[in-house]
Structure 1
Amino acid sequence: MVGRKSLKGDYCPSARSLDVIGDWWSLLIVRDAFEGLTRFSEFQKSLGIAKNILTDRLRTLVSRGILEAVPAGGSGSRTEYKLTAMGRDLFPVMVALRQFGERHLFGPGEEHSVLVDREKGLPVALDIRTQDGRTIGPDETMLLKILEEE
């Protein structure tokens, strides 16, 4: 089996971000953490993931700074997993993935969960803006690449 190539030193911020996230199980764990899940058993029940895979993904998310493992209240040795500031910065990523799915992966009238703000119950929408506040799309952007030395 071929090992996964590390993108830790890549010049591309997207590649480095994917190196930290790892895989889709990890993003689903992060999604559940945003929903308030904190315990191993809660993640396992929500995702239906094998315990060994969940253990590995939680360990990786903690080591990469996305989650922190904190002792759960009480006298037991239980651990809770909480989003760090770095993990909370994944919120726009999760909203963008959700919006992509809503737009392209559900049929007309097909029901799905909806992300709403707590105060007014209005659906959440994410858009991309320049520093001066203008909404832009991919046709109005360009990537300034770093030239690699040979």
Structure 2
Amino acid sequence: MASRIRLEDHECPLSTTAQHVGEWWTLLILHDAFDGYTRFDQFQQSLNISTSMLTARLKTLVADGLLERRPYQTNPLRHEYVLTERGRSLRPVIVALAAWGNQNLTPEQRSMILVDAETGEEVEPVVIDAHTGRRLDDSEAFVFTAGRAASPAMRARYTELGRSRPRPTAKQQT
């Protein structure tokens, strides 16, 4: 995919992530991979995607380290596409996007839901802070600010927004 990232956004994790997974087909291929699809023909049949588009998307996903291309047959040579650890780490993002998509639908309108594999009960995914267990959807309690590697421009952005990073307490430094 051609880079749509602005020069000033190269340090922004949202911009760089969108460069890897922001393309519509990419998210759908990853969703299929999380459902266990590994073979070209499985992706193509599931998504009804052209051969050239699927080839390009898979090539990008392999180059980005999200899928690994492995031979599964030698005569003729055939490959499968298996999620890497980096690819598997995107699962919570895909789950959150699907949950957001279902958020304003009635249960009767939902064509895909997330369930507990053991009980079959529908679950409601939320994003929480690992340390406190607090939900991150409170935009007043949790805000972005410049990190340690931030450029002067990124630091200025958050200073202008009044979000200079507070000094860590003694407990946070340990």
TM bracket (short chain): 0.7 to 0.9
Which residue pairs with 1:144 in the alignment? 145
- In 2, the alpha carbon distance for the partners of 1:144 and 1:92 equals 23
Any idea what the Cα deviations from partners look like across 1:10-63, whole Å, max 9, x if unmatched? Answer: 221111111122401001000000001111011001111111000000000000
Percent sequence identity is 37
List runs of 5+ in structure 2 lacking aligned partners. Answer: 157-174
Runs of 4+ with >4 A deviation: 6-9
Equivalenced residue count is: 147
TM-score (norm 1): 0.86
Higher relative contact order (CA 8 A, sep 6+): 1
Which residue pairs with 1:72 in the alignment? 72
- In 1, the alpha carbon distance for the partners of 2:27 and 2:6 equals 18
- In 1, the alpha carbon distance for the partners of 2:24 and 2:6 equals 17
Which residue pairs with 1:24 in the alignment? 24
Does the 8 Å CA contact 1:7/1:16 hold for their aligned counterparts? Answer: no
Which residue pairs with 1:116 in the alignment? 115
Secondary structure of 2:82's counterpart equals: strand
Secondary structure of 1:72's counterpart equals: strand
AA paired with 1:127?
Answer: V
List runs of 5+ in structure 1 lacking aligned partners. Answer: none
**How many angstroms does 1:6 deviate by?**
4.2
Does the 8 Å CA contact 2:25/2:57 hold for their aligned counterparts? Answer: yes
